Structure 1
Amino acid sequence: MNDRLIYLPLGGAGEVGMNAYVFGYGPKGKERLILVDIGVTFPDMDSSPGVDLIFPDISWLEANRDRLEAVFITHAHEDHVGALGHLYTRLGQPPVYARAFTGHLARLKMEEQGQDPARVSIAEPMPEMVEAGPFRVGFLPISHSIPESAGMVIDTPAGRVMHTADFKIDVTPVVGEAFDPAAWEAAAAPGVQALLCDSTNVFVERPGRSEASLASNLESLVAGAGGMVVATTFASNVARLKTLAEAGVRAGRSVCLMGRAMRRMLEAALETGVLEDFPPTVSPEDAAGVPRENLMLVVTGSQGERRAASAQLARGKYQGIELKAGDTFLFSSKTIPGNERGVLRIINQLSEIGVDVIDDATDRYHVSGHANRPDLERMHDIVKPKMVIPMHGEHRMLREHMKLAKSRGYASAIAPNGTMLDLTGDAPQVAEHVETSRIYLDGTAQIGALDGVVRDRIRMALNGHALVTLIIDEDGDPLGEPWCELSGLRESGRSRADLAEVIEGDLAQFMGRAGKKVLGDDDKLEDGLRRIVRNTAFNEIGKKPEVTVVISRLG
């Protein structure tokens, strides 16, 4: 048989975030394709300064977009749906399918980027199936830390594929659907060629805990706290927002929600019927007049985001409310790897004020939305696939999950971003490798990670910048001496003289030695001036700045 079933991750395999998974079926190089999820990850100042968002590199998919049948979104977390509006045109504007809550938020993201929200269709959960070329795709409800999450059941001529997406095994999730093992067993009953499975918590040996297990601990904490109580969690965790708000109300406190993302999620949950009721809240304006011992804030910024409510409260007043010594600040969340520095900055700022900070180290006020190792084993046993393909996780997580699957008798392989697997046979085989990188949203522009823009920005941040300007007259002779303007560099160095003046002196000497051949060749002149600036700066301050040379020729 010449047709094959392929799987190609473009994001989310080898990292946590930026999920984008391609499935294909058909003759080699002519497979019809579907895309499951199209998410973002978030930048940091060390590796991507000034960048707003990071998208998966979809160059391969863009080049093959005439073969793309549809996009399916498993749930409404940013790392699964956040890039939809930004990259939609590059995908060729295919139909998009999602469940009601996810689709509501996906349509908003499309609108924000000037795309037609009607391209997002609302799909009902199984047994309804969506036809997409050679695929029939169903949404199978699963529990996670956001309402209406779904695994994907993907029927192909080569067999059934089940894609868990992000999941946990939770039979009492507070908001949203409980995990239903019978439904998953029924979906797996015809036989499963491959199970694509979340790997995030593969190293956690204990079984996962239910969202409902937090209520009593949170209520005790809020009831026993003095001063004002502030709690932060993921804005998308609607169940946690409800549990926190209920704890505040039971403690006799007025509850105020702060943060646009949080309000947006609650509005979507209420509008789509995912959430039927929510404790009464007060506006930030009214909250400012409530005695602090009677007030509880639930705020955004659990991952240390600089512009979120948590960070602004830690720096001073936010919407008229100010933290004081004796208040309590709770992180009802887990710090995502890579965000530790931002979270610690907020914790230390709060500590300086005298606020008592409770983080996730106690494990009493947060439960993960991802399956732990015993829960992954249970999912394997429920589905009983021919092969297990780890996805959603750092490389070490994928590798450990592969080892776990093999130890339990399942064929398995890891496929980091850009690795195409052939899933047609009895075991996965690497079919080919696709060049993948990242796309940066920089302001309003999308730039490739290899375009050099961010690289140059990092170099300037590390070493500073020097601008050298030189004017050449009509006869090819220098009109005056070169001058230098410095940014991000100290004013003086070892000689204690003004650094710009020292550099200009050395540039003048170079120009005095330069012959007609050099003066007439912009490339040679630019190289010489750049070398002088970098060498002089290194001798004076130990830095070799980035140098821009502007040569203006009159006439």
Structure 2
Amino acid sequence: MSHPHPELSLPPALPDGALRVVALGGLGEVGRNMAVLEHAGRLLVIDCGVLFPEDHQPGVDLILPDFDHIADRLEDVEAIVLTHGHEDHIGAVPYLLRQRPDIPVVGSRLTLAFVEAKLKEHRLAPRTLVVSEGQVEQLGVFSCEFVAVNHSIPDALAVAVTTAAGTVLHTGDFKMDQLPLDGRITDLRAFARLGEQGVDLFMVDSTNAEVPGFVTPEVEIGPVLDEVFAASRKRIIVASFSSHVHRVQQVLDAAHAHGRRVALVGRSMIRNMGIAAELGYLHVPEGVLIDLKKVDSLRDDETVLMCTGSQGEPMAALSRMANGDHKVSVGPGDTVILASSLIPGNENAVFRIINGLTRLGARVVHGGNARVHVSGHASAGELLYCYNIVRPRNVMPVHGEYRHLVANAALAVRTGVPADRVVLAEDGVVVDLVDGVASVVGAVPCGYVYVDGSSVGEITDAELKDRRILGEEGFISVFAVVDSATGKVLAGPQILARGFAEDDSVFEDIRPDVVRALEDAITGGATDTHQLQQVMRRVVGRWVATRLRRRPMIVPVVVEA
């Protein structure tokens, strides 16, 4: 994959005094968020996150933004500015810092605490700058003002970047909850002030642009959790993102009210909540938190387990519980709460877990049957408010699948932004702000970079295709020994199959055809073993496709005697 617009050529040189924006992830997908701003020969990175793999990417652990566009310009990067502490915005920071460890990392106190813990695991010691709302920092040629926004994690920030080319306001992920748990609302007064001063490019979170109205306030989750806790007679298991401090707070409060103790399950959950509690973002009622090892000493109706795995991640705690291979067993009468919304692409994995837990006898409470989660992203009504408050000169929807970007663009137009001033871009598309007008000027290669175990960027799409074939269609090896002098097959062909319902004896019918094809090829002058292997591959492949209706991976081996 390069970029979704092959009709676009590489961009021209950036005009003097202009500003360039290139998204290296997050446009056309929910995740992998990373935008690079360029002005006067210097670069500013906003967010650097990961995308989680889907079923058609077997074996992949994470997907990173493609850093190639800036790989030979890392010395020009003034800083990495992080809007908040979710993995899809900070997860790729270690991989970028491996290439230049001294890039300053800028963000709020909680965001940087999460990043520093992650970087410690990668043995990296970053240069960090803690900022808070209302603060203005000069990062080289970029003047950055930070604005409080409300999201599903504390301490989220929007950033207004001002250069000689104009002002870009990047919302990060945000919503407009008027009754937030921490009392920290999206600062629309700052948005209005920036709008009065002039926002030349408004980069706006698009995730919920298709959803009408307004997001339900977080405070409405508390009473629902209270009802579920009151009705539960045995163990309660709550699955959420490991960084969702607000949801964990509500679970701790509900557990305290109902006389239950809470154990955190999963390394990332324990690490992040420890950080949040230490910094004062999570308030733990006295005596509520216990170690997982002590759970067995309590009655089932006295315990709550707070774990990861709400998106169906195969190695997360909840998936393993549903499969019966976790030290925590789920049984009849237990209640499992999935306290998160579905990330697009994860639906099948989540439904598998729900079915597995239900089969074990658990009651599963999720967003489809109870209000146990609200989104952290602004719905259409909130976005309309923002457009009317900011009155931007140009709009660039960000953070979302293409349908979300289109829906967000339509909202901007409805509020009076001229259609030709709304830029629909995807990953790799280059947008220049010149004399107050934003427009697409080209595209740069911007593919998926796969993390697979310890390898980064070594797995290609072709290799993933091979993995899918192996997983879905099976594998056949064909071995033969030939005498190139006489043109005779001396041994074989031996055919072994894996992933087939049929016994290997089914291939007896094709062996004579393979022998005949090899001898004909040798007689016809084919002496190279590679040519003979391709002959075997074609004969076996045609037969399997016709007879067994399969297209397996075929590995032919020809040895000359």
Q: Same fold by TM-score, threshold 0.5 exceeded?
A: yes
Contact conserved, 1:253 with 1:294, CA < 8 A, in 2?
A: yes
Aligned twin of 1:118? 126
C-alpha spacing 1:16/1:77, structure 2 compared with 1 (3 Å): same
Percent identity between matched residues is: 31
Query: 2:147 is matched by which residue type in structure 1?
Result: L
Q: 2:515 aligns with which of 508, 517, 524?
A: 508
1:356 and 2:367 correspond: no
Q: 1:268 aligns with which of 266, 275, 286?
A: 275
1:318 and 2:326 correspond: yes
Query: 1:112 is matched by which residue type in structure 2?
Result: E
Query: 2:307 is matched by which residue type in structure 1?
Result: V
1:298 and 2:330 correspond: no
Q: 1:228 aligns with which of 223, 230, 235?
A: 235
Aligned twin of 1:287? 295
1:190 and 2:197 correspond: yes
Aligned twin of 1:68? 77
- The correspondence of residues 112-261 of structure 1 with structure 2, limited to 5 A, is 112-114=121-123, 116-119=124-127, 121-175=128-182, 177-261=184-268
User: Secondary structure of 1:515's partner?
Assistant: helix
Q: 2:416 aligns with which of 409, 417, 424?
A: 409
- The correspondence of residues 347-426 of structure 1 with structure 2, limited to 5 A, is 347-362=354-369, 364-410=371-417, 411-426=421-436
Q: Bigger relative contact order, structure 1 or 2, given CA contacts below 8 A and separation 6+?
A: 2
1:105 and 2:132 correspond: no
C-alpha spacing 1:349/1:462, structure 2 compared with 1 (3 Å): closer
Query: 1:44 is matched by which residue type in structure 2?
Result: E
User: Secondary structure of 2:312's partner?
Assistant: coil
Contact conserved, 1:438 with 1:449, CA < 8 A, in 2?
A: no
How far is 1:467 from its partner? 2.1
How far is 1:11 from its partner? 0.8
Query: 2:126 is matched by which residue type in structure 1?
Result: A
Name the CA distance, whole Å, in 1 between partners of 2:164 and 2:459: 37
Q: 2:62 aligns with which of 53, 69, 88?
A: 53
User: Secondary structure of 1:54's partner?
Assistant: strand
How far is 1:429 from its partner? 1.0
1:96 and 2:105 correspond: yes
Question: RMSD in angstroms over aligned alpha carbons?
Answer: 2.4
Aligned twin of 2:12? none
Query: 2:31 is matched by which residue type in structure 1?
Result: G
Aligned twin of 1:459? 469
How far is 1:398 from its partner? 0.7
Contact conserved, 2:249 with 2:283, CA < 8 A, in 1?
A: no
How far is 1:93 from its partner? 5.3
Q: 1:43 aligns with which of 45, 53, 57?
A: 53
C-alpha spacing 1:502/1:88, structure 2 compared with 1 (3 Å): farther
Aligned twin of 1:85? 94
User: Secondary structure of 1:423's partner?
Assistant: strand
> What is the TM-score normalised by the length of structure 1?
0.91
How far is 1:224 from its partner? 2.5
C-alpha spacing 1:353/1:507, structure 2 compared with 1 (3 Å): same
How far is 1:510 from its partner? 2.4
How far is 1:317 from its partner? 6.4
How far is 1:186 from its partner? 3.8
Aligned twin of 2:5? none
Q: 2:497 aligns with which of 472, 477, 486?
A: 486
How far is 1:449 from its partner? 6.9
Contact conserved, 2:103 with 2:126, CA < 8 A, in 1?
A: no
User: Secondary structure of 2:189's partner?
Assistant: helix
How far is 1:117 from its partner? 1.9
- The correspondence of residues 513-552 of structure 1 with structure 2, limited to 5 A, is 513-515=520-522, 518-552=525-559
- The correspondence of residues 6-45 of structure 1 with structure 2, limited to 5 A, is 6-26=20-40, 31-45=41-55
User: Secondary structure of 1:318's partner?
Assistant: coil
Name the CA distance, whole Å, in 1 between partners of 2:136 and 2:98: 25
Query: 2:296 is matched by which residue type in structure 1?
Result: A
Query: 1:67 is matched by which residue type in structure 2?
Result: D
Query: 1:309 is matched by which residue type in structure 2?
Result: A
Name the CA distance, whole Å, in 2 between partners of 1:272 and 1:363: 32
Please identify, of 208-217 and 446-455, the stretch whose mean Cα deviation from structure 2 is larger: 446-455
User: Secondary structure of 2:424's partner?
Assistant: coil
1:332 and 2:339 correspond: yes
How far is 1:416 from its partner? 1.2
Name the CA distance, whole Å, in 1 between partners of 2:395 and 2:522: 69
How far is 1:95 from its partner? 2.5
How far is 1:290 from its partner? 1.5
Query: 1:78 is matched by which residue type in structure 2?
Result: E
Contact conserved, 1:148 with 1:176, CA < 8 A, in 2?
A: no
Name the CA distance, whole Å, in 2 between partners of 1:404 and 1:449: 39
Residue deviations 1:299-358, cap 9 Å, x none?
221111222222222233633x43222222222221111111111111112222222222
Name the CA distance, whole Å, in 2 between partners of 1:458 and 1:63: 34
Contact conserved, 1:38 with 1:81, CA < 8 A, in 2?
A: yes
Query: 1:287 is matched by which residue type in structure 2?
Result: V
5+ unaligned residues in a row in structure 2: which ranges? Answer: 1-14
1:439 and 2:452 correspond: no
C-alpha spacing 1:134/1:488, structure 2 compared with 1 (3 Å): same
Query: 2:497 is matched by which residue type in structure 1?
Result: L
Name the CA distance, whole Å, in 1 between partners of 2:398 and 2:342: 20
Name the CA distance, whole Å, in 1 between partners of 2:394 and 2:331: 55
Query: 1:485 is matched by which residue type in structure 2?
Result: L
Residue deviations 1:100-138, cap 9 Å, x none?
211122123223234x2233x032225443333321223
Name the CA distance, whole Å, in 2 between partners of 1:20 and 1:413: 17
Name the CA distance, whole Å, in 2 between partners of 1:518 and 1:442: 43
How far is 1:461 from its partner? 2.4
How far is 1:506 from its partner? 2.8
User: Secondary structure of 1:481's partner?
Assistant: strand
Query: 2:494 is matched by which residue type in structure 1?
Result: W
Aligned twin of 2:505? 498
Name the CA distance, whole Å, in 1 between partners of 2:133 and 2:232: 46
Please identify, of 361-370 and 87-96, the stretch whose mean Cα deviation from structure 2 is larger: 87-96
Query: 1:486 is matched by which residue type in structure 2?
Result: A
Name the CA distance, whole Å, in 2 between partners of 1:188 and 1:64: 32
5+ unaligned residues in a row in structure 1: which ranges? Answer: none
